[in-house]
Structure 1
């Protein structure tokens, strides 16, 4: 595994998802990251990673033989079109709808989309927009 640049001062250093089907997960994440313009950084027989997200099988030495539970991960998008592209790529590559692209009432300008990845993790793409934009009321449950 190659070494990446170290980014000190971040809250999250890295996140690992341990999945049942590495091929299905790699197809899903490769597609959604392409829509978000994030490259896959590396891969091996039982793992791959992009930025600070590491995805592996349960048999990978880093996994200790156990699947991870359900997580919610939110990826930043540059604009609403990128959120929509993320959503379409996810659905076309093994994801399940968990909230179509749209404004949420979390704060003004919050535009997001939610999908479940092949292991049931709640994966979101969000564009925070402009603070002065008022958001229509949309209730999203997790």
Structure 2
């Protein structure tokens, strides 16, 4: 098996969404992840993943035959233009507007857009304003 590389140091280790229509869901997430600069991690007949988000059909082994229901996921954007592009391409790729790009009252500088994916999950891209990061992420490599 090849070396697997993961990025850690954030609150969530991973999330799984179980969806009805993998092709429609894949079109939506391919579009928004391209804009957000997140590469596809891998794929199979009934699943794909990007970073810590695993998306599968109900017949995948991990899903145990059950859909997950409605979730809210927020992805970090590098700037306001990336939030705007996320919303535009997400709508064009089968998402439904759930909040146009704009400032929100959560804290000063919180700029976000919201889309519903093909299964009704509330997907957000957010730019928190100019800030300095200590590191982009922490990389952990597993060799087998």
Q: TM-score range by the shorter chain?
A: 0.7 to 0.9
Shift of 1:12: 1.2
- Following the alignment from structure 1 to structure 2, what is the Cα–Cα distance between the partners of residues 6 and 69? 27
Q: TM-score, normalized by length of structure 1?
A: 0.87
Q: Do 1:19 and 1:119's aligned partners in 2 also have CA atoms closer than 8 Å?
A: yes
Higher relative strand content:
2
Q: Structure 1 pair 9/112, CA: closer, same or farther in 2 (3 Å)?
A: closer
Deviates more, 1:6-15 or 1:64-73: 6-15
How many residues in Structure 1 have an aligned counterpart in Structure 2? 131
Q: Do 2:70 and 2:121's aligned partners in 1 also have CA atoms closer than 8 Å?
A: yes
2:85 corresponds in structure 1 to: 85
Q: TM-score, normalized by length of structure 2?
A: 0.86
Unaligned 5+ segments in structure 2 are: 132-144
Unaligned 5+ segments in structure 1 are: 132-142
Alignment of 1:123-138 (within 5 A): 123-130=123-130
Structure with larger RCO (C-alpha < 8 A, sep 6+): 2
Q: Do 1:108 and 1:130's aligned partners in 2 also have CA atoms closer than 8 Å?
A: no
- The RMSD of aligned alpha carbons is 1.7
Alignment of 1:13-24 (within 5 A): 13-24=13-24
Alignment of 1:27-66 (within 5 A): 27-66=27-66
